[in-house]
C-alpha cells in the first residue's frame, strides 16, 4: 500500500481537475448562449420587431464562474507543485 499516504491528496486533486473542467465547459456554453441571444436580438432589430438598443448587463454568473476557475487553477498549481495556499 505504498500509494495510500497520497490517496486522499490524489483524490482531491482529481476532484479539482473535474471542477475546473466543468467550469471551462460551463463558461464556454454560457458565452455561446449569450452570443446567440445577442444575435437573435440583432435579427429582431433588423426586422424592426424591436426599436430600442439596450446593452446586456454583465453576467454575474460568468463573473463568479471565472473567479472560481481562478481559484481552481491556483489550487491545482498548489497541489501539483506543492507550494502556495493549498499545499
Q: What is the total count of domains within the chain? A: 1
Which runs of E-coded beta strand occur in the chain?
none
Average pLDDT over residues 59-74: 95
Q: Kindly state whether residue 3 falls inside one of the protein's structural domains.
A: no
Largest CA distance in the chain: 70
pTM for this predicted structure: 0.79
Start-to-end CA span in the chain (Å): 23
Residue pLDDT, tens place only, 8-51: 888 989 999 999 999 999 999 999 999 998 899 889 888 888 87
Domain extent, residue 65, equals 12-81
Cell of residue 63, nine digits? 463573473
Q: Are 64 and 39 in contact (CB under 8 A)?
A: no
Amino acid at each position: 500500500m505504498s500509494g495510500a499516504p497520497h490517496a486522499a491528496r490524489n483524490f482531491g486533486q482529481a476532484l479539482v481537475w473535474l471542477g475546473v473542467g466543468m467550469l471551462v465547459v460551463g463558461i464556454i456554453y454560457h458565452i455561446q448562449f449569450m452570443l446567440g441571444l445577442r444575435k437573435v436580438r440583432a435579427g429582431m432589430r433588423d426586422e424592426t420587431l424591436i426599436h430600442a438598443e439596450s446593452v446586456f448587463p454583465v453576467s454575474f454568473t460568468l463573473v463568479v464562474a471565472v473567479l472560481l476557475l481562478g481559484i481552481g487553477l491556483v489550487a491545482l498549481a498548489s497541489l501539483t507543485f506543492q507550494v502556495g495556499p493549498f499545499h
